């Protein structure tokens, strides 16, 4: 062996990859193999490996066929993956780089290197699995985060509800006390005005106008007192089975004049039939009228007021301190009523205040700020729910849900079209007059 041959033999012996020379075809055999290759295939000796058919080292001899076809066609293969087995039967994943050669006699042979990539492939597969698992965990984490955020929002709402309820109770108690004290003197003033009116001499001139103004002011004060008392004594409900569509129609009839005056188009989107609800119809009419008037006042330059009713199925909504939560129990039927306008909506920062008694953005004489406070009180007494928010396309959207009488109770037909009625109402007493007109 020459010096150069010795150096090459040493290099081959110490390379950490399997180096081989073999012949192609079904009966192909190894002509050369370095110690790493002998070890890779768990052969007892180099001679044992050279003695076996290359095909015997394939898990699937079909793969050998594909390999040979490829190298015969292209003259080489790069990073070709093979599933091989050792002489002791242990499987391994190999990566082969090889070149096709021809000897002096014209015979074809293959020179190549084989790397055992079993561990690397397993690690890659593990990594892929871990990545998929991570992606799944990330998704689960995101969904948990979303749930947490939703719970936090609900908690904030509940807290807000509690604060509002507490504030409401103290203001309502104080106001009711004052109202009781003022009610009787006010009656005396009204009676006195009636007396003066009846006894005014014909030549009294401006006096009739002054008395009329006093009566109007006293009436308005009386209407406010009525609403304040409503906040404390509304606990007495006269509940009967009723058809919500009929209640909506009656309430719309009562604001027909106001809607016309404000050039507001009223759109009815009522369910063809609804199960009955157990409500105090007079009080729910009051709720609807307050909501309609708020919308009409917000759309003084014209707009659209939409009232819709529908049946909903949901888990029972249990009210606790003004906040609605889903309770235990199974599914129930609800009658949902929605009042929507396309007015300017309510500034975000004012939204938490609108149910407060005496909160109003309207000029004195137009709004007292009791409308929504009374609405909330009546809705609470009915163990119903109310949500007031700005609509996605502007305006205000008030959604209420009443528990249906019974899921099996027969449905009620839509009432006949409302009768048009009303006479003009003076602005200062409009709301009181509407409520009195029922």
Ligand X SMILES: Nc1ncnc2c1ncn2[C@@H]1O[C@H](COP(=O)(O)OP(=O)(O)OP(=O)(O)O)[C@@H](O)[C@H]1O
Among residues 54, 343, 378, 385, the one that binds ligand X under rule CB under 6 A: 343
Kindly state the smallest distance separating residue 429's Cβ from ligand X, in Å: 11
| CA gap 383, 386 in Å, rounded | 10
Please identify, among the stretches 170-178, 274-282, 321-329, 341-349, the one whose residues bind ligand X according to the rule CB under 6 A. 341-349
171: helix, coil or strand? helix
- Min CB(199)–ligand X separation in Å: 34
Q: Which of residues 370-429 bind Mg ion (CB under 5 A)?
A: 371
Q: At its nearest, how many Å lie between Mg ion and the CB of residue 360?
A: 7
Q: Which of 211, 337, 346, 432 binds ligand X (CB under 6 A)?
A: 346
- Is residue 22 a contact point for ligand X (CB under 6 A)? no
Total Cβ atoms within 10 A of residue 105? 5
Of 294, 306, 324, 385, which lies in the binding site for Mg ion, with binding defined by CB under 5 A?
294
Residues in contact with ligand X, counted by CB under 6 A, come to a total of 21
Query: What pairing do the DSSP bridges indicate for beta strands 18-22 and 108-116?
Result: antiparallel
- When asked if residue 34 is in the footprint of Mg ion (CB under 5 A), the reply is no
Long-range CB pairs of 39-48, under 8 A, 24+ apart, other chains included: 40/86, 40/92, 40/114, 40/116, 41/84, 41/86, 41/87, 42/86, 42/87, 42/88, 42/90, 43/86, 43/87, 48/87
Q: How buried is residue 332: exposed, middle or buried, by Cβ count under 10 Å (0-12/13-18/19+)? A: middle
Q: Which of Mg ion, ligand X, none does residue 370 bind (CB under 5 to 8 Å by kind)?
A: ligand X
Per DSSP, the three-state class of 215 is: helix
- Please report whether residue 372 would count as binding ligand X according to CB under 6 A: yes
Q: Which two tokens stand for residue 259?
A: 């809607």
Residue 337 binding ligand X, by CB under 6 A: no
The answer to the question of residue 343 lying near Mg ion (CB under 5 A) is no
Q: Are strands 264-269 and 303-320 parallel, antiparallel or unpaired?
A: parallel
- Residue 18 as a binder of Mg ion (CB under 5 A): the answer is no
Beta-strand runs (E) in 126-261: 240-242
Q: Does 362 bind ligand X (CB under 6 A)?
A: yes
Minimum CB separation of residue 378 from ligand X in Å reads 13
Compute CA 64 distance to the chain's CA centroid, rounded to the nearest angstrom: 58
- Contacts to ligand X from residues 115-154, by CB under 6 A: none
* Binder of residue 368, out of Mg ion, ligand X, none (CB less than 5 to 8 A by kind): ligand X
Window contacting Mg ion (CB under 5 A); options: 42-50, 152-160, 299-307, 367-375: 367-375
Shortest spacing between CB 293 and Mg ion, in angstroms: 6
Query: Token match 């004012």: residue?
Result: 350
CA distances from 69 to 22, 31, 98, 109, 263 (A): 15, 20, 13, 13, 86
Listed ranges 96-104, 324-332, 346-354, 369-377: which one lies at the site for Mg ion (CB under 5 A): 369-377
Choose the stretch contacting Mg ion; rule: CB under 5 A; options: 8-16, 218-226, 231-239, 365-373.
365-373
Tokens standing for 49? Answer: 């490996």
Binding-site member from 192, 367, 391, 415 for ligand X (CB under 6 A)? 367
Q: Is 311:337 a contact under the CB 8 Å cutoff? A: no
158: its two tokens: 């509940």
Place of tokens 């609509």: 391
Using CB under 6 A as the binding rule, the residues of this chain from 290 to 329 that contact ligand X are: 290, 294-295, 298
Burial class (CB within 10 angstroms; exposed 0-12, middle 13-18, buried 19+) of 43: buried
Q: Least distance (Å) from Mg ion to the CB of residue 305?
A: 14
Judged by CB under 6 A, the stretch of 95-103, 203-211, 252-260, 368-376 that binds ligand X is 368-376
How far apart are the C-alpha atoms of 140 and 161, rounded to whole Å? 31
CB of 229 to ligand X, least distance (A): 14
The Cα 189–Cα 13 span in angstroms is 121
State the binding string over 385-414 for ligand X (x if CB under 6 A, else -).
-----------x------------------
The residue range among 121-129, 134-142, 230-238, 361-369 that interacts with ligand X, by the rule CB under 6 A, is: 361-369
Q: Tell me which of Mg ion, ligand X, none is bound by residue 369, counting a contact when its beta carbon lies within the kind-specific cut-off of 5 to 8 angstroms.
A: ligand X
User: Rounded distance, CA 156 to CA 145, Å?
Assistant: 16
Summarize as ranges the residues that interact with ligand X (CB under 6 A): 290, 294-295, 298, 341, 343, 346, 354, 359-362, 367-373, 396, 431
Residues that bind Mg ion (CB under 5 A): 294, 371
């Amino acid at each position: 062996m020459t010096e150069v041959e010795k150096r090459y033999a040493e290099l081959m012996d110490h390379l950490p990859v399997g180096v081989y020379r073999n012949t192609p075809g079904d009966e192909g055999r190894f002509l050369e193999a370095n110690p790493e290759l002998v070890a890779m295939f768990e052969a007892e000796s180099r001679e044992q490996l050279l003695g076996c058919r290359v095909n015997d080292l394939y898990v699937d001899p079909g793969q050998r066929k594909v390999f040979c076809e490829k190298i015969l066609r292209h003259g080489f293969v790069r990073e070709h993956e093979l599933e091989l087995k050792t002489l002791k039967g242990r499987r391994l994943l190999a990566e082969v780089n090889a070149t096709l050669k021809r000897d002096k006699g014209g015979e074809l042979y293959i020179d190549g290197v084989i790397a055992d990539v079993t561990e690397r492939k397993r690690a890659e597969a593990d990594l892929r699995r871990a990545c998929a698992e991570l992606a799944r965990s990330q998704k689960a984490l995101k969904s948990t985060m979303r749930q947490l955020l939703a719970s936090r929002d609900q908690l904030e709402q509940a807290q807000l509800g509690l604060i509002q309820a507490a504030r409401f109770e103290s203001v309502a108690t104080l106001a009711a006390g004052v109202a009781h004290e003022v009610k009787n003197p006010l009656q005396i003033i009204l009676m006195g005005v009636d007396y003066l009116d009846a006894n005014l001499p014909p030549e009294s001139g401006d006096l009739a106008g002054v008395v009329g103004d006093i009566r109007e002011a006293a009436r308005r004060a009386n209407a406010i007192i009525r609403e304040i008392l409503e906040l404390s004594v509304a606990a007495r409900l006269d509940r009967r089975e009723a058809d919500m569509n009929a209640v909506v129609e009656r309430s719309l009839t009562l604001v027909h004049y106001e809607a016309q005056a404000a050039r507001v188009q009223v759109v009815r989107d009522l369910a063809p039939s609804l199960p009955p609800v157990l409500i105090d119809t007079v009080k729910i009419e009051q709720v609807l009228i307050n909501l309609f008037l708020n919308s009409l006042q917000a759309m003084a330059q014209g707009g659209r007021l939409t009232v819709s009713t529908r049946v909903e199925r949901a888990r029972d909504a249990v009210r606790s301190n003004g906040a609605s939560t889903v309770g235990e129990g199974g599914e129930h039927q609800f009658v949902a009523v929605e009042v929507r306008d396309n007015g300017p909506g309510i500034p975000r920062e004012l939204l938490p205040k609108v149910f407060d008694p005496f909160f109003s953005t309207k000029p004195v004489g137009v709004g007292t700020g009791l409308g929504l406070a009374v609405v909330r009180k009546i809705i609470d007494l009915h163990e119903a729910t109310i949500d007031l928010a700005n609509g996605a396309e502007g305006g205000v959207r008030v959604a209420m849900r009443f528990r249906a009488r019974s899921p099996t109770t027969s449905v009620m037909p839509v009432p006949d079209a409302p009768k048009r009625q009303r006479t003009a109402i003076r602005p200062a007493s409009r709301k009181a007059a509407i409520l009195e007109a029922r």
